[in-house]
Amino acid sequence: MTQSGLRNPEKAVRGLGAAALSLEGLTLLLGIAPIRMLGTGHPNAAIIILIVTAVAAFTLAGMMGRPWAWPAGGALQVVLIVGGLAHWMIAAVGVVFGIAWLYVLHVRRQILS
C-alpha cells in the first residue's frame, strides 16, 4: 500500500482519466441530436467536430497508460472550446469538461505525489 492507501495508485488514476474521457465522449455523441434539431450556427461542421472529438476522447480513454495521453486530454478540451466557433454548445461542453479535466489532474497529482 502507498501513502494514498491504494494498492495500485497509477492504475486508479488511469481509471479516473479514462472514465472522465469516456463520459465526455458519450456527452459529445449525445449532443448531435440537439444541434441537428436547432440548426443554428454551422450544424454540419458542428456534427463533424462532435464525432471526431468523441472518437478522440474514446481513443484517449483507452490509452491513458501512455504519458502523452494526459496532455492530449487537456488539448482535447482546448479543441472543443475552439470548436465553439461552429456552435456555442461545443464550447460549453469544452468548458465544463475542461474544469472536470483540471480536477482529474489535481487528483492525479495528489495521489501520485
Q: Which whole number is the average pLDDT over 8-23?
A: 95
Structural domains counted in the chain: 1
Question: Is residue 53 domain-resident?
Answer: yes
Helix (H, G, I), strand (E, B) or coil at 73: helix
The C-alpha cell that represents 79 in the structure block: 479543441
pLDDT for 36-46, tens place per residue? Answer: 998 888 899 99
Structural domain for 36, as ranges: 9-112
- Band of pLDDT at residue 98, cut at 50, 70 and 90: very high
Question: Is residue 32 domain-resident?
Answer: yes
- Band of pLDDT at residue 109, cut at 50, 70 and 90: very high
Helix axes 9-30, 43-62, angle to 10 degrees: 160
Rounded to whole angstroms, how far apart are CA atoms 25 and 36?
Answer: 18
pLDDT for 46-78, tens place per residue? Answer: 999 999 999 999 999 999 999 999 999 999 999
Question: Is residue 1 domain-resident?
Answer: no
Question: Is residue 3 domain-resident?
Answer: no
The C-alpha cell that represents 93 in the structure block: 461542453
Cβ contact 77:24 at 8 Å: no
Question: Is residue 55 domain-resident?
Answer: yes
Cβ contact 111:12 at 8 Å: yes
Question: Is residue 49 domain-resident?
Answer: yes
